[in-house]
Each structure stands twice: as C-alpha cells, then as structure tokens.
Amino acid sequence: MHKLFIRSFVSSLVFLFTLTVAAVAKDVKAAFVYIGPTGDHGWTYQHDVGRKAVEAAGFKTTYVEGVPESADAERVLRQLANSGHDVIFTTSFGYMNPTNKVAKEFPNVKFEHATGYKREHPNVATYAARFYEGRAILGTIAGSMTKSNVIGYVASFPIPEVIRGINSFTLAAQKVNPNIKTKIVWAFTWYDPGKEAEAAKALIDQGADIIAQHTDSTAIVQIAEKAGVYAFGQASDMDKFAPKAVLTSVENNWGPYYVERVKAVANGTWNQKDTWHGIGDGMVVISDLDSAIPSNVRSKVKKLQADLASGKVHAFTGPIYDQKGNLMVAEGKTADDGMLAGMMTYVKGVEGDIPK
Amino acid sequence: MIKIVKRDQPSRAIFFLTPVLAIFLTLVAGGLIFYILGFKPFEALKFFFIVPIADKYGFSELLLKATPLCLIAIGLSFCFKSNNWNIGAEGQLTFGAIVSGGVALLFYEQQGFYILPIVILAGAIGGMLYASIPAILKTYFNTNEILVSLMLVYVSKLILDYLVVGPWSNPEGFNFPETRQFSDSARLPLLFEGLRIHAGIFLALAAVVISWFVFYKTYLGFQMKVSGFSLKTAKYAGYKGKKMIILVFLISGACAGLAGVGEITGPIGQLHREVSPDYGFTAIIVAFLGRLHPVGIIFASLVVAITYLGAETAQIFMQIPKYTGQVFQGMILFFLLASDYLLFFKFKFIGSKK
C-alpha cells in the first residue's frame, strides 16, 4: 500500500515534470523573414513549407513576407526580436548585415541566416544547401537526353553559388556525353517571370533542347512546355506547371533543419554553426523522375543519387579543367568546401564569360 | 433632388479638406477589406496605424521612413507645380546613391570631417545629373518627360546592379552583390543612441523651409505657378520656359539624390541592389496627398510612412498579408483623385417647389 502510494507519487511527479518540460518546449516561438510572397512557388514558398513543418511539430511561428533588403529589414528583425520570438530565420542573402546588427542587440534571441557567411555574434548561425549535388543529377539527365548537344541554362547572378551550380551541372553532363555545351543567359534577377521567359526563349532559339534554371519562377518550364523542349524545376516540384517539359526538379527541403533547430532552442542545446547539407541529409531532394526519362538513364540517376548521399561520389572530382584548359582539381582529388565557397571560374565546356 | 453644379472657382477649403477625406475613406474601405478577409476591423486598424508608433522606437522609425518620402516629394512638387511630370525620382535617387556611394567607397579606409559633406554633395549632384537628362531632352528635343524619366529608372537600377555585382563589389565578400561598408566618417550621424533616426531629417526639414520660401516669396515660385495654370499664359508673359523646366528638374533630382544619400549613409551603410523600396514612386502619392504644399507634404509623408510600418506590425501580430500596405497606399491616391471631383463640382440640393 505504502509502496504503491510512493510509486504513484513518483510517477505522477515524473508525469508533471514531463508536462512542464513539454510546456516549456512548446513555448518557443519561431519567426521567418521572407524576401518574396509565400505563393511564389520557388524560394520563399519552400521556406514557408519548412515553417509549416515547424508548426506541425507543435511550435508557434510567425512570418513576414516581402521584406525588402533595404533599410526596412532591420526594423522587421528588431520588431520580431522584441515581440517574444526566440529564434528568427532570415531567408535571403541580403539580410546578412541587418541580421548580425540586430543579433548584437538581442543576445538571448537566436538568429539563423540562410546563404550568408557572417556569424559575428555567438547567437548567429548560418545555413545553406548543397544544391550543386542536385544539379549534378540534372546534368546527368540532360547529358543523356539532349539531341542537339546544346543545353541552355538561365542563371541569376554571377556569385559562387550560381557558378558552382553551372559547373556541377556541366561536369555531370560531360561525364555521360563529352560533346555537350552549356550556354548561359544571365537574367540578373532571382524572380522575374518576364525576364526569365525571355532568357529561355533566347536559349531555345540558339538550339538548346533542354533548359536548366537558377531562378525561381515557373515561367521557364512553361516556355519549355510550349516550345516542346525539356526543362528542370527549381526549388519546388514544378511538374504541375509543365507536365511534359519538366523531367524532374531539385527541391529545397528546409523543414527537417528548421524543426531540428527550433527543437534545439527549446531544449537549450542550440549552438552557433555553419550548416551546409546536401542530398544525404535530405535538405536537397530530387522530385519524381518523369516517364520520358529512359530506364538506363533512370538507373544511372538513382545510382548517382545514392552515391552522392553516401559520400562515395563527390560532384567535383578531378580531373577538372577550367575554360582555358588549366587544371582546377587534380585527378583523384575532390574540391574542398573553401574552393566551392569561392568558385568564380567556369569549367571547360561552359560557353561565354562570367559577367564582371 | 440633388443637382451637380460646376463651381465658378475651385474651392480652397475643399482643396485642403479632400486629403483628409481621402484618408478617412481609406480607413473605412480598409476596415471593410479587413472585415471581408475575416479580421476584426478595428483591431486590424489599431495594429496598422497605432501600435507601430506607440513607443519611442516606433515613432523614430516613422520619422526615419518619412524622411526620404518628404524630401523626394518636396522636390517633385517643384516639377508638378510647373506642369513638369517627373516620374523618375526613383532613378534620380538611385543615381544619387551610386555617385555618393562611389565617393564614400573612395574614402573607405579614411576618417575625416570633410568626407561626409563631399559624399552628400556628390549625391545631390548625381541626382541632378540624372534629372537633367529628361529635362534637356524635353526642352531641346520635345520628348515626353514622363516616358523618359520613367524609363531611366530601370537604367539606373541596371547600372547599380552592374556596379555592385562587378567593379564595386566587396573584395572580401565572396562576390555577393554588395560593396564594402562605408567608413564611419561617411555615415550620417545618429540623433539618439539606439535609434536609427539620423541627421538626414534636417535635410528634409531644410528642403521644406526652402521650398516654402521659393513657392510663395520668389519670382521663380510665381513663374512656376503661372506655368502650372497655363503654359500659354506663361509664354505670353514672356517667361523663359526652358530655363525653368531645367531648373525644376535639377531641384527635384537633387532632392531625390539626397534621399538616396540618406538611405545608404544612414541605416544601410553600403551600396547593394536594393537601396530603396521604391521611395521615388511612393513619393508621388505623398506629393499629391500633401497638395504640393510643403507643410501638407510633411503630414502626407508621415501618413504614407505609417502604411509601411503598419503592414509589418499587422503581419507579425495578426497574420494579415504584408502587401495590404501597398493596397492602402493605392487606396489613398485613388480616393484623393476621386474626391478631387468635389473641387470643381458641388452638389446642390434643389427643393421640389421650384
């Protein structure tokens, strides 16, 4: 009797304790700052999918969309930090300096900045995805399926992230088809359906029968659908916008990272770090392959996907030469993260010059 | 029966009352929109218009936001008063920011009291240079200044893109599209510790005072007024139209350029692709809402500035889409233009006996 009482007392104590812990954990509030509208079906849309995953995990979230990278970003960040948010995800490169500035004033709030490199205070972490791994998959498909051997690529800005994607794509395509050429059109925008469509048309006119993109709208895949050429979706699965043209998409899957980081804040285990996850960690996801892709290509893709995930294959494995034929990465070596982070030269097989 | 009668003369009282009416109608329509969207209208309006400026910090942010709007709108009122439709203040702002930013970058490792005045002056000159293009094309080649000034906005943004991506990008910045941070000597001093409001507000206030003096106390102001009423009369009176056109464009460009300086040497501290969230276009609304009157423009810039802040607060606390801020700006202009009808017409109640 006595024992039973103690046991039930202890178990109820434990129960109460877990309740309190759970209650404390649930109290954590996360905020997300977006550059575009949540309905862009590209960059911001995918971050919002990630935010919903955080909600589903039982946390409260807030978001502010369409925050320009002008002086306004700082005010929005300060307001979020001031209104009881424990962790703030700033999801565009241009928020880098405001994020670090506001982080200094709010040492108890955690800041997570996407795609930047500045972590000036202990409460600032950075994260990005190894999208170039996804682009190696796209390159493999494109190299196998092109008939004209000309592949078009709509690029946004000449920064290492984009150059790295072009190179990874081209290297993978060359592995399956040494004769391919990658033609680039720079749109100088992340999201502008009009400009992106013009760029895609220009590439199709130059003989490209497959179009890849590093911009966010669905305009390019829709142009490809009309012109009867193939394309790849960006950021989210764009298959429904161009069912015939889209061979597959590289999806940005932020949900698992967001949930993990918000939980870490709740448990008090959050730490400053720089995260760069790829296919293996599930931050980069390849959508379902289109039925137009023949089975031999399909098996090649599946194998590469598994090898990239396990780390058996690196997208930048030597020998890699630049456009002039100089050796960039020696045979048997792979490019390290430092080289990838600062990559500003095209590999052999890419046409044109990087705009300066 | 109600009859609509044309007024003999535009009513002066109505002239200054319609902006107030427009703001009131915007609040009513805004409340209605919130209601339709499923939000409590009064609570939403409270988060939109009162909460953001309820504390010292919020109020300082309001002034910070209103400063460029006021400055640009004052400049635009010189153009608009004299029948010159400068729609390209955004481009003049951008070009002013480019020139002053370039000068600030030249001095990036140096300190000295002389740097800031040079940077500010460079911004004003940049804005003037850029505004002189539509002005000269209009006076000597009869081009339409609306089109020219508007198209030049996009040109200026492309020039800025080119510079921050290419030759001016931060050498330590992994080729991201941004310049180095300016040195402290090239930054506008902050007025209060911990707040972002900076000395640029004095530029705006000076513009208000000077414009009032020019509009109402000088021959130039009179010429602008006459040209505004009728270009033919101005010609008949023997005014040198070309000189005036170029002058008002230069003033307008200088103000927009200074607004650009205020942004990059104030809160931003560097050049990147987005120095302005379209202040140059929003200032057109401010100029008209303020009735092209310097004092009116002060109030109008505060009202429009709060739609930006309110949209952020409303999204954070009530999950109202942030883009409603732009809806509010659009509604203000719409209701203002609509109620201008009352300037020229009045409703007359006619008894049935007649």
**B138, two tokens:** 């209009």
Contact between B177 and A64 using a beta-carbon 8 Å cutoff: no
Contact between B196 and A93 using a beta-carbon 8 Å cutoff: no
Question: What Å distances lie between residue A250 and A136, A215, A255, A278, CA to CA?
Answer: 10, 12, 15, 11
DSSP 8-class letter at B237:
T
**Helices assigned H by DSSP within B142-230:** 145-165, 200-217, 219-229
Mind giving me the DSSP string for B39-88? S-HHHHHHHHHTGGGSSHHHHHHHHHHHHHHHHHHHHHHHHHHTT-----
Amino acid sitting at position A168: S
| B317 neighbourhood in chain A, CB within 8 Å | 83
pLDDT of A21 over the 90 cut: no
Give the CATH class of A131-251+285-341.
Answer: alpha beta
List CB contacts of B267: < 8 A, sequence separation 6 or more. Answer: A71, A74, B64, B196, B198
* CATH 1.10.3470 assigned to B71-323: yes
Q: Which fold has domain A14-129?
A: Rossmann fold (3.40.50)
ipTM of this complex prediction, to 2 decimal places: 0.85
What's the pLDDT at B117?
96
Angle among Cα A253, A235, A250 to the nearest 5 degrees reads 80
pLDDT of A6 over the 60 cut: no
Report d(CA B200, CA B302) in Å as an integer. 15
Give me the residue from A64, A94, A355 closest to B272, CB to CB.
Answer: A94
Confidence of residue A22 (pLDDT cuts 50, 70, 90): very low
pLDDT tens across A312-321, in order? 999 999 899 9
| A74 neighbourhood in chain B, CB within 8 Å | 196, 267
pLDDT tens across A51-79, in order? 999 999 999 999 999 999 999 999 999 99
Give the gap in angstroms from C-alpha A317 to the nearest C-alpha of chain B: 22
Give the gap in angstroms from C-alpha A174 to the nearest C-alpha of chain B: 27
What's the pLDDT at B248?
95
Contact between B272 and A63 using a beta-carbon 8 Å cutoff: no
What's the pLDDT at B45?
93
| Average pLDDT rounded to a whole number, residues A88-116 | 95
Helices B89-106, B115-141: inter-axial angle, 10-degree rounding: 140
DSSP 8-class letter at B183:
P
Give the gap in angstroms from C-alpha A52 to the nearest C-alpha of chain B: 14
Contact between A65 and B321 using a beta-carbon 8 Å cutoff: yes
Task: Yes or no: say if B198 and B132 are a contact pair by the CB < 8 Å rule.
Answer: no
Q: Name the residue in chain A with its Cα closest to that of B180.
A: A97
Residue with tokens 């807030």: A62
What's the pLDDT at B354?
45
What's the pLDDT at B109?
85
The residue among A51, A70, A186 with the most chain B CBs within 10 A of its CB, best to mutate, is: A70
Residue with tokens 């109608």: B25
Report d(CA A249, CA A141) in Å as an integer. 11
Task: Yes or no: say if B160 and B98 are a contact pair by the CB < 8 Å rule.
Answer: yes
| Average pLDDT rounded to a whole number, residues A230-234 | 95
Q: Name the residue in chain B with its Cα closest to that of A355.
A: B166
Task: Check CB contact of A66 with chain B, cutoff 8 Å.
Answer: yes
Q: Name the residue in chain A with its Cα closest to that of B64.
A: A71
Task: Check CB contact of A97 with chain B, cutoff 8 Å.
Answer: yes
What's the pLDDT at A26?
52
The residue among B174, B196, B263, B320 with the most chain A CBs within 10 A of its CB, best to mutate, is: B174
Task: Yes or no: say if B64 and B202 are a contact pair by the CB < 8 Å rule.
Answer: no
- Longest C-alpha distance within chain A, in Å? 87
* Residues of chain B contacting A, Cβ within 8 Å: 57, 61, 64, 158, 161, 165-167, 174-178, 181, 196, 263, 266-270, 272-277, 308-309, 312-313, 315-317, 319, 321-323
Torsion angles phi and psi, residue B330, rounded to 5: -65, -40
pLDDT of A7 over the 60 cut: no
| Average pLDDT rounded to a whole number, residues A20-32 | 69
Residue B129's nearest CA partner among B256, B244, B243, B214 is B256
Q: Where are the domains of chain B?
A: 71-323
Give me the residue from A63, A69, A78 closest to B274, CB to CB.
Answer: A69
| B196 neighbourhood in chain A, CB within 8 Å | 71, 74-75
Sign of the CA dihedral running A287, A288, A289, A290: negative
Q: How many residues does chain A have?
A: 356
Residue with tokens 């004209």: A148
What's the pLDDT at A1?
45
Contact between A75 and B274 using a beta-carbon 8 Å cutoff: no
Q: Where are the domains of chain A?
A: 14-129, 131-251+285-341
**Strand-pair category, A60-64 with A29-33:** parallel
**B10, two tokens:** 């535009």
pLDDT of A2 over the 80 cut: no
Task: Check CB contact of A63 with chain B, cutoff 8 Å.
Answer: yes
Q: Which residues lie across from A210 on neighbouring strands? A: A151, A230
Q: pLDDT of chain B along its 354 residues, tens only?
A: 788 888 887 778 888 888 999 999 999 999 999 999 899 999 999 999 999 999 999 999 999 999 999 999 999 999 999 999 999 999 999 999 999 999 999 998 889 999 999 999 999 999 999 999 999 999 999 999 999 999 999 999 999 999 998 899 898 887 788 999 999 999 999 999 889 999 999 999 999 999 999 999 999 899 888 888 887 888 888 887 788 999 999 999 999 999 999 999 999 999 999 999 999 999 999 999 999 999 999 999 999 999 999 999 999 999 998 888 889 989 998 998 888 888 888 888 876 554
